[in-house]
Amino acid sequence: MFKNLTIGQHYPVESPVHELDPRVKIIMTFVFIISLFLIESFITYLVVGLFLALAIKVSKVPIKFVIKGLKPILMIIVITFIINLLMTPGKIIFQIGFIKITEEGIRQAGFMAIRLTLLIMGTSLLTLTTSPIILTDGIESLLNPFKRFGLPAHELAMMMTIALRFIPTLMEETEKIMKAQKSRGADFESGNIMSRAKNLVPLLVPLFISAFRRADELAMAMEARCYRGGENRTRMRQLKISKGDFVASGIFIVYFAAIIMIKIW
């Protein structure tokens, strides 16, 4: 399951989306998330889906690779669908005992499932098309205006990027530990909730030890390279807004305006 996780991974390929300024991509990602919560009809979700499919096509990231990232959270989507299906009040169309399915429940369940799917696919496109170093520079640049209020922009950007970068690494480490423990007779799938929780102890202990070891190695490597934070620090690549960023921003403004117009009408 963990090998399907795409969050935090970078897909290196030359494309117009990869060449966009990271600040532009971060802002567009946040606006895209906001647009998902403004939608009130399935037709609008179709528009969003087509726009996202076009963005993935232009990014040259294989659509199968993006969809593969949905597998680890498929259970969350299913649980969310079931909860909204059974817990939303309204006009009852089917009932067995205390289980009631309403028209509003079907609509709300479908909305939430589609929203989560598009949310994961849209946000994963940010990390797939932006390397961790460039993403750090983009986040730091956006947070720089808040330095006057005492916000450590560089440190926050570095922490967030390192966290994203090590998600796939820790998931891969978890999968290796699970296979090693299963070969020694560990059982992570049978039994009730309490027994499964107890069975996770042989998995969590070596995982935490491995995570602390990696953190210590990363700190030593940064110190060996005389890393001293963001003060008076130069960058090999300077962030500049190009013509492609203006074109992408214009297209995205049209998309967001269309979502607003559909919502109003």
47-89 pLDDT tens trace: 899 999 999 999 998 888 888 778 778 888 889 898 888 888 8
Does residue 242 share a domain with residue 222?
A: no
What's the CA gap between 244 and 160, in Å, rounded?
27
Per the domain annotation, does 142 fall within a domain?
no
Specify the pLDDT at position 230: 60
> How many CB atoms neighbour CB 193 within 10 A?
7
65 vs 253, residue with greater confidence: 253
Residue 138 lies in a domain: no
- Assigned domain for 148 exists: no
250 shares a domain with 122: yes
What is the length of the chain? 265
Residue 231 has pLDDT above 70, yes or no: no
How far is 106 from 99, CA to CA, in rounded Å?
13
Over the stretch 97-137, which tens digit does the pLDDT of each residue have?
778 888 888 888 988 999 999 998 888 888 889 887 788 88
* Domain extent for 243: 1-130+238-265
Q: Do 42 and 108 fall within a single domain?
A: yes
Mean pLDDT, the chain, rounded, equals 83
Predicted local confidence at residue 53, as pLDDT: 92
Are 163 and 112 contained in the same domain? no
Q: Are residues 16 and 109 in the same domain?
A: yes
Same-domain pairing of 106 and 183: no
* 194 Cβ contact partners less than 8 Å away, ≥ 6 residues apart: none
pLDDT band at 251 (very low <50, low <70, confident <90, very high): very high
Domain co-membership, 18 together with 78: yes
Q: How many whole angstroms separate alpha carbon 122 and alpha carbon 70?
A: 11
Q: What is the mean pLDDT of residues 215-241?
A: 77
Q: Are residues 170 and 126 in the same domain?
A: no
Q: Are residues 222 and 247 in the same domain?
A: no
pLDDT at 95 over 70: yes
Q: Is residue 210 part of a domain?
A: yes
pLDDT at 232: 63
Question: How far is the C-alpha of 22 from the C-alpha of 108, rounded, in Å?
Answer: 34
Cβ atoms within 10 Å, residue 90: 14
Residue 112 placed within a domain: yes
Give the number of domains in the chain: 2
Amino acid 233: pLDDT: 65
Q: Which of 3-7, 70-74, 152-156, 244-248 has the lowest mean pLDDT?
A: 3-7
Flag whether 172 is in a domain.
yes
